[in-house]
A = this chain, B = another copy of it.
Amino acid sequence: MIKVGIVGGTGYTGVELLRLLVQHPEAELTAITSRQEAGKAVSAVFPSLRGRVALEFSHPDKAALEKCDVVFFATPNGVAMGEARALLAAGARVIDISADFRFRDAAEWERWYKVKHAAPELLAEAVYGLCEVNRDRIRGARLVANPGCYPTAVQLGLLPLVEAGVVDVDHLIADAKSGVSGAGRKMELHLMHAEAADNFMAYGVMGHRHWPEIRQGLARAAGRDVGLVFTPHLTPMIRGIHATLYARITKEAAESAKSDASYFQALFEKRYAGEPFVDVMPAGSHPDTRSARAANVCRIAVHRPREGASTSDTLVVLSVIDNLMKGASGQAVQNMNIMFGFPETLGLQQAPVVP
């Protein structure tokens, strides 16, 4: 049993963490902070947790977070970088669900997040918590940067191709669709029900903060810079990301035996063999987002479309997750399990909620 703290527990990643931790057999929630709701019972803010969470929100200054074994940051960007150092010094380990420690390069981070980084010296130590890539380093990490939601879906969908060197990494395309909870529990006009329901739109086509994060991950896998067009879309659903990924097969791959559709299917199956939370679907599948709803799983299907009589040289990969689970809090708990030597699936075996 480890002692767990949560900083900023009133957002969607916070309440999702709570939902998971109340059922986790090795985690004891000992503190949860909220500047705004300090003194209020968690179950008063989230009636869904009545009878499940007895804690009150504490003021950040008064929470004994440094006595925790692990502290999750479920805060807006810019908070964790100011507080992580002290917690680490006190012996706590930190899993940051925000973006503060995801980039290797402080200057790049500052370009996208528009504030000075408060703890650039921690960036080298921070481990990017995409479990399927960094599992070994996560095990020993003091500080884990939990990946963004879009970056999780897109990277898991493209990594097998990029690692194998069989696609043109200068011209990757990620057309990604997210439910509205991906924007957080914040009030913006376009996120209102009367605005977002029965409606669909792209946003941030000229630049989105997840673009450099995805590029960093893919570049690491490719061993070189990559080119990526990333188009996020707001979808009238609560949870879920569907990434539709386009990658052109290299001439070399196309001319070798690799041009066979089954080659790519096998490539994905091999890459994720044994992964408890990545599900390579049978050839021809179209995973829907609800097949991952409220569960910690990424489902992937790889297609090589026909073009009339011939086949396209462009692969289409479909990758779906629940943005609050494998895209945020579920993956954060997965990271916790790895860090503390628990079975990786502990407390994460909820079956998806369908319908």
Contact = CB atoms under 8 A, between A and B. Distances in A.
Interface of A: 12, 15, 18-19, 22-23, 46-52, 171, 173, 175, 177, 179-181, 185, 187-189, 191-203, 205-207, 212, 227-231, 233, 235-240, 242, 244, 246, 248, 279, 281, 284-295, 299, 303, 305-308, 312-314, 316, 318, 320, 324, 349-355
A231 B194 contact: no
Contact of A236 (B189, B212, B236, B305): B236
9 contacts: A19-B354, A23-B350, A23-B351, A50-B299, A187-B187, A197-B238, A198-B239, A202-B286, A236-B237
Q: In the assembly, how many copies of this chain are there?
A: 4
B291 A355 contact: no
Given A191-B192, A233-B177, A244-B233, A295 B198 contact: no
A52 B299 CA distance: 14
A6 to B, nearest CB: 15
Contacts of A289: 199-201
B206 A306 contact: yes
Nearest to A241: B200
B207 A306 contact: yes
Contacts of A171: 248, 313-314
A47 B352 CA distance: 9
Contacts of A194: 12, 179-181, 185, 191, 238, 355
A217 to B, nearest CB: 15
Given A193-B191, A236-B193, A200 B12 contact: no
A217 B207 CA distance: 32
Which 8 A-B residue pairings sit nearest by Cβ, starting from the closest? A201-B288, A48-B352, A187-B187, A193-B196, A175-B175, A199-B290, A48-B354, A194-B355
